[in-house]
Structure 1
Amino acid sequence: MTAKKFFFGLIVLSLLGVALAFFILQEKERDGHWPWPLNGRVINQSPVAVKVWDDDHGFYTIAAGQSSSNNNDIDHVQEPSSQRWCKIDAHSLVVKPDGFFANCPCYALGAGRACIKF
């Protein structure tokens, strides 16, 4: 591979990356939430409903044994066993059968609040 082909390939990949970033940001501005797969998702394996919060819909619940839709961008989830709030960003959060989270990226003081950093 020549240096010219390598350089041209690098430019093409860079332009594709910029175009993809622009598309994602336009989607965010158009409807107010990140498009799938960049939105937060909840997989509730517990026997109780889980309280969630997002910027668009406020508070609502995900029923026991259900998962949230890819169309909703869930921002915070309340852990049933401890009542702590988890800020999930673009992660998929699993609520275990015992009511604790399997993979909370960070906890917050409440719904709509930033992560607690120590």
Structure 2
Amino acid sequence: MTAKKFFFGLLGLSLVGVALLFFIQQEKERDGHWPWPLNGRVINQSPFKVKVWDDQNGFYTIAAGERSSNRKDVDHAQEPTSQRWCKIGARTLIVNPDGSFANCPCYALGAGRACIRF
């Protein structure tokens, strides 16, 4: 591969990346929500239902052993064991079989609230 082909290939990939970023940002500005795959998701591996919240659909639950839909953006989830609210962001949250969260990035004082930072 010549340096010229490498350069133009890298330039082409960069342009595709910028176009994709622009498309995603436009989608967010249109309705105020990040589109899939940048939305929050929940995989519930516990026997408990998990209460979740998003600013578009409000409160709803993810049944035991189920996962959230790609069509809904989960913003916060309530840990079944402690009742604490986890702010998910653009991540996938795993609910352990005992009802605790495996990978909560940060906890909030309630649904729709910002993370608590100490």
- TM-score, normalised by the number of residues in structure 1: 0.89
* Cα deviations by residue, 1:10-36 (Å, 9 ceiling, x for unpaired): 332221111000111122223332221
Distance 1:6 1:21 in 2: 23
Equivalence for 1:8: 8
Equivalence for 2:47: 47
Which residue identity does 1:88 align to in structure 2? I
Distance 2:62 2:10 in 1: 44
Matches within 5 A, 1:80-95: 80-95=80-95
Which residue identity does 1:113 align to in structure 2? R
Q: CA deviation at 1:2?
A: 4.7
Q: Which blocks of at least 5 consecutive residues in structure 1 are unaligned?
A: none
Q: Which blocks of at least 5 consecutive residues in structure 2 are unaligned?
A: none
Matches within 5 A, 1:1-118: 1-118=1-118
Aligned residue for 2:112, secondary structure, equals coil
- TM-score, normalised by the number of residues in structure 2: 0.89
Which residue identity does 2:40 align to in structure 1? G
Q: Percent identity?
A: 81
Q: CA deviation at 1:70?
A: 0.7
Equivalent pairs, count: 118
